[in-house]
Structure 1
Amino acid sequence: MSRHIESICIVGGGSAGWLTAALIAAKHGPDLQVTLVESVRLSIIGVGEGTWPTMRNTLRKIGISETDFLRACKASFKQGAKFAGWRTGAADDFYYHPLVLPEGFPSIDLAPFWNAQADAAGTPSFSDAVCFQEFLCEHHLAPKQITSPEYGGIANYAYHLDAVRLGEMLREHCVGKLGVRHVDDDIIEVQQAENGDVTAVIGQRHGGIAADLFVDCSGFSSLLLGQTLGVPFIDCSDVLFIDRALAVQVPYESEDAPIVSHTVSTAQDHGWIWDIGLQNRRGVGYVYSSRHAGADRVEEALAAYVGPAFAGLTPREITIRSGHRETFWKNNVVAVGLAAGFLEPLEASALVLSELSADYIASAMPATRGAMDIVARRFNDMTRYRWDRIIEFLKLHYMLSQREDTAFWRDNRDPATIPQPLQDLLELWRHTPPGEHDFASAHEMFPAASYQYVLYGMGFRTAPRAGALAARDAAEDAFERVAAMKRRLVAAMPTNRALLDKLAQYRFQPV
C-alpha cells in the first residue's frame, strides 16, 4: 500500500480519454508515465458538441491556443441556451439561460424587482431585463472581437465543437507535446490482484500494459469499473425520461448563413430538438422518450424541423441510458466520461463532467496506493453530489412546463418523478428567490443565477416579501446599465460568422 504511483493507464480515447491524458500529463510532466490505449477503429459517440466556459481554462492549462482550437475543431462560440416552446408551446414561447450572471449579482438581486412587475404589459423577459447576453444571441453577435486576447472576451462564453475533431486534436497534442504514450489496440483481458486492483490490461496486438492507476474511459461499456470491478449502474429514467436520440448533420444553406451563438433547444411532443451551429454545419437531433413515442413519429418531426435538406441526410440513432455508476473510483480504477454515466444533452453536462473529473484526478493525484483510497472517497462524494445536482436541474426544466398536449409533458409533472430536494427548494422559492445561501457546496454545478433564469423563464413567480424591494434605486441603476450595455454592444460586436471568418486569416492576441 506504500507503493508510489508512477504510471497511469487510460483505457479509451475520445474527448474524455484524451482530456484526462492531457490534464494529467500537463500537470505532472515526466514524473508520471501516461499511457492511453484505444482501438482507433471504434467510432466516437460524439453525443455532446456543447461545452461550458470551463473548457477555456482547460485548453489553456494543457497549452492549446484558442485560435488553433477553433480552427481545428470547426468550433464556434456558445453564449448559453435558448429554450423554445418549453413553457406553453406557443409560437412566441421562449426564454434564455445565458452564461453571463445578472447585473450586479449577487450583491444586488434583481429577481424581486422583476417579479414585482413581471406580468405587466411590456415587461421584458427575466434574462433580457437583467443581462445583456440574450440581446447578443438574438442578434447573432459574438462574445469577443478579433483584437480580444485568447480565451478572453466581452461576454462569458463556451464553445460548440466537433467532438471527433476535438479528440483528434487532443491526441496529436498529447503525443506530440505532452509525452503521452499512445497504444492502438483492442483489450481482450483485464488482470487483477488478489485485493481486486487492476494490474494490467492485455491488448490483442501489444500484450500486457501494466500501471499503478487505471482511468476507465471505455464509454458505455465501462470495461474496468462496470464489467471488471462490478460497480452497479444507478438508473435515473424514473426522473429523466429521455432515452433515445435521432441526430443529423445539416449543411448550411449558404457560406454566409448566420452561425447561431447559442444552443437552440426546441420542445417537441415527446422531447426536444437540439440545434447547434459549427463553422461548417449544424448539429441537429431529436431526443425523446421511447415510452411516449415511436421512432417513426420522431423522424417525421425531425424532418419537418430540418426542412427539405433532411431528404439527403442519414439520421443516426443513439440509445441513452440515463444514470451513473454507484461509485466512480473503486480500488485503483476511476471512471471518466461515459464509463461513469450519461444524462441527456440538455445543458451540455457530458464534457464538463469529464473536464472536472480529469482535473481533480490530475490535481489530487495520490502519491501512494495507500493514499489512493482517501482520494477516491473524496472523489466519489464530490462526483455523486455533482450528478445529483445535475439531475435535479435538468428535471426543473420539464416539471415547470404548463404544456398539456402530450403525456410526456404531463408525466414530467408527476410529483413521484421529482426528487425531494428539488421539491423542497421550490417551496422555499415561492417567497425567496434562489440565492447563494441555497447552494453552499464548493462543488455546485449551477449557480443560483442559473436557477433564476430557468425558473422565471418558465413562468414561476416568487412573491416578494416585505423589505425585498428596499434597494429599488440600486436595482433601477442596474437595469439601466444592462440597457446601456446593449446599446454599446450592438455597434461594437461582430457577428459570430464574421468573427470566425476573420479568424481564418488572423489570430487572437496572445496572452
Structure 2
Amino acid sequence: MRVKNIAIIGGGTAGWLAANHLAVELRAETDITITVIESPEIGIIGVGEGTVPHIKKSLLKFGIPEAELLATCDTTFKKGIKFVDWMAPSASNPENSYYHPFSSAYPGGADVTSWYLKNSASMEFADVTEAPSLAEAMKSPKRISSAPYEGVVNYAYHFNAVKFGQLLAKNAKEKLGVLHKPATIVNAQLNEHGEVDYLITKEGEQLQYDFFVDCSGFHSLIMGKLFNIPFVDKSSQLLTDTALAVQIPTEANSQIPPYTLAKAHSAGWMWDIPLTNRRGVGFVYSSAHMTEDVAVEHLSRHLQLNTDQFSPRKIPMRMGYREKFWCKNVVALGLAQGFVEPLEATSIFVTDFSAELFARNFSVEKESMSVAADYCNKAVAYTWERVIDFVQLHYCISDRQDSAFWRATTQEVKRSDILQERLDMWAVNSPKKLDIFSRFDLFDVENFLFVLYGMKYKTRAKNMTVYEEDYFRQEIEKVNMYRKKLSGELLDHRLWLDKFATAYQQTSGK
C-alpha cells in the first residue's frame, strides 16, 4: 500500500521542522500531501532558543535565507557556551569559567592536547581557538561581507522559538506545498492491524491519513497514550527536574553577548540567552534539593529584580525518551519523543537530527517501512543515550562539593557503562577522534575536549618529541596572532546586527 497522506500532529519547532524535512525529501513524490494539524488552543513550550551549527545545514536545505531568519526571529549569533561556576573557585581561575566554543579544537588540523596537558597551569584549553576571547570582546562571528551561513568564526543562533516556528511554517507552506489545518486532536482510532486509522478532533471530526508524525509535545498523544510505548526514565542520571523560565526586555543599545551563559548554582544551573530585544532566562534545578521559593529568590538575584517584578513559567522536566520513536505508521518527534534538560542546546538539535533521519529513511510503500523503523529506532535510542551521557559529563566531573546536590551528582548518581568507560580511558590517554566511533554520537570528540579540559579533567600527560613541542607551540602562536587580527577587524555584535537590520529594511522595503 502506498502512503499518500501524511499528518503531522502539532506545530511549533518540532512539527514544522518535520514538515520541512519531509517535504524536501519527498519533493519528487507529487501524489503525496503533508498536512500539519495545529491546535489553536494548545501553546508551545517555546524556550528552546539556542542552537548548534548543524541547524545551518537544515535551513540551507529548506531554502530559508539567513537574512530572513535574522530579520524575523529576533536572532543573534552564538559562538558557543560560557560556563560559570561549574567548578569550585580556584586561584588559577578566579572567574571560575570556561568556554565550549563551536570552533575547532585542532588548530591547523593538529591535535595539540598533549601541549595543553603539559601547560595546563598557564593556559585554558579553549585558548587553542580564537573564539573565546572574541566572544568576551562581544565581537560578531561574521564580517559585513560574509556570505550567508558563513562566518570568520563558526556560529549558531539564539532566536525567538515561537517566531522560528512561524518562519518554518511560512517556508513549508509557501515554498514546499505543506498544508495547514487548525484543529485540536483529542484521540485516534486504530485499525485491525494495530495502526492508526484516523484522528478524532475536539469537535468529533474524523481525519483519515496514511501516516502520522506525533509532535504533540509532552502529551505524546499517540506514541505515549495510544500506543503506550514505554518511557525510558533517565532521572537517575540527571537530577534536575524543574525549570523556571522568564523573558526580560533589554535596552536597544545594550551589549549582546555572542554566547549562551550557563551559570551553575547550588542545585543546578541557569541559562541566559540574549536576543535582539530581550533575554530568555531559565533557572534549572532539582526539586529534591531546592524549593521553588528558594529557586525564585535565586532567579531574582540573577535578574536584579524583586520577585514581584517578574512571573516565571514553571516547567516540569521528565528526563528520558520513548523506547521506540517509530512504531507502525507513527513517528514521534520533539517532546513527544523525549526530553533532556536544555544544556548544550539539546532539544532542537535532537529534534532536527531525528526529523532528518526519519525523512531520509521514509518509504512511500508501507510494506517496506519495518526495516527502516527498526534501524531508526536503534539509531535514535543510541543517540539519546549518548546525548544524556554528554549532558551528565558536565555534572559528574565537577569538583564542587559545596551542596547536597553537587555531592550527589558527582558521587552517587549512576553513569552509563559507556560514559564510565570513556572517562576511565581518558584519564590515561586524551580523547581521540576514533574514540567516538558512531555517526549517531551527536557530540563528537572536539565537544568532549572542550568540556573535559574546560573542567580540568585529569589526564596523564603524554611525552612529546622536541619537534612536536615546537610544532604545537607554533600552531598556538598562529591562533594568538589570528585572534589579534580578528579582534581589530570584526564589528561589535550589536553593531553588526544593527547594521544588518538597517540594510535589510532598505533593500526589502520592510
Could you tell me the TM-score, scaled by structure 2's length? 0.95
Pairing partner for 2:223 from 225, 237, 242: 225
1:112 aligns with 2:119: no
Deviation of the 1:483 alpha carbon: 0.2
Please identify, of 355-364 and 458-467, the stretch whose mean Cα deviation from structure 2 is larger.
458-467
Structure 2 runs not aligned, ≥5 long? none
Q: Which residue of 2 aligns with 1:414?
A: 411
* CA drift at 1:443: 1.5
Matched residue of 1:474: which SS? Answer: helix
Q: 1:407 to 1:298 in 2, by over 3 A?
A: same
Question: Residue deviations 1:340-363, cap 9 Å, x none?
Answer: 010101001100111111112222
Q: Which deviates more, 263-272 or 37-46?
A: 37-46
3-state DSSP class of the match of 1:247?
strand
Question: CA shift at 1:124, angstroms?
Answer: 2.2
What is the Cα deviation at residue 310 of structure 1? Answer: 5.9
Q: In the aligned structure 2, how far is the partner of 1:155 from the partner of 1:71?
A: 21
Number of the residue aligned with 1:126: 125
Contact 2:85/2:264 (<8 A) preserved: yes
Q: CA–CA distance in 2 between the matches of 1:309 and 1:260?
A: 24
SS in 2 for 1:290: coil
| Conservation of the 8 A alpha-carbon contact between 2:87 and 2:96 | yes
Code of the residue aligned with 1:452 in structure 2: it is L
1:343-354 → structure 2 map (5 Å cutoff):
343-354=340-351
User: What CA distance in whole angstroms lies between the structure 2 residues aligned with 1:352 and 1:148?
Assistant: 25
1:76–1:500 contact (8 Å) kept in structure 2: yes
Name the residue aligned to 2:376: 379
Distance 1:497 1:309 in 2: 28
Partner of 1:461: helix, strand, or coil? Answer: coil
Q: Distance in 1 between matches of 2:424 and 2:467?
A: 23
CA pair 31-507 structure 1, distance change in 2 beyond 3 A? farther
Describe how 1:121-200 pairs up with structure 2 within 5 A: 123-128=122-127, 130-200=128-198
Q: 1:180 to 1:206 in 2, by over 3 A?
A: farther
Give 1:131 deviation, angstroms: 0.5
* Gaps in structure 1 of 5+ consecutive residues: none
Alpha-carbon distance in structure 2 between the residues aligned to 1:362 and 1:356: 10
Give the TM-score, by structure 1 length.
0.95
Quote how far apart the aligned CAs of 1:367 are. Answer: 2.8
Work out the CA distance in 2 between the residues paired with 1:240 and 1:384: 17
2 CA distance for matches of 1:103 and 1:238? 35
- The answer to whether the 8 A contact 1:244-1:290 is kept is yes
For 1:242, the equivalent position in structure 2 comes to: 240
1:492–1:311 distance in 2 versus 1, CA, 3 Å: farther
The share of aligned pairs that are identical, in percent, is: 37
Confirm or deny: 8 A CA contact 2:297 2:307 kept in the other structure.
no
Q: 1:366 aligns with which of 320, 345, 363?
A: 363
Q: Summarize deviations over 1:386-436 as a string: whole Å, max 9, x none.
A: 101111111110011111110100101125522221111111111211111
Q: Choose from 463, 471, 476 the match for 2:473.
A: 476
Alignment of 1:82-101 (within 5 A): 82-89=82-89, 92-101=95-104
Q: Residue type matched to 2:237 in 1?
A: V
- What is the CA–CA distance in structure 2 between the aligned matches of 1:32 and 1:341, rounded to whole Å? 28
Asked if 1 retains the 8 angstrom alpha-carbon contact of 2:214 and 2:220, the reply is: yes
SS where residue 428 of structure 2 aligns?
coil
Which of these residues, 391, 395, 414, is aligned with residue 394 of structure 1?
A: 391
For residues 361 and 373 of structure 1, the distance between their equivalents in structure 2, rounded to whole angstroms, comes to 12
Superposition RMSD on alpha carbons, in Å? 1.7
**1:310-329 residue pairs with structure 2 within 5 A?**
311-329=308-326
1:26 aligns with 2:24: yes
For 1:67, give the aligned amino acid. Answer: A
Distance 2:464 2:413 in 1: 36
The match for 1:506 is: 503
1:101 counterpart letter in structure 2: S
Deviation at 1:62, TM superposition (A): 1.0
- Inter-partner Cα distance in structure 2 for 1:416 and 1:18: 36
| Other structure's SS at 1:283 match | strand
Q: 1:289 aligns with which of 286, 290, 300?
A: 286
- CA contact 2:230–2:322 (8 Å) conserved in 1: yes
Residue aligned with 2:107, SS: coil
2:51 aligns to what? 51
What is the deviation of 1:468? 7.4
Deviation at 1:89, TM superposition (A): 4.6
Q: Give the CA deviation at 1:480.
A: 1.0
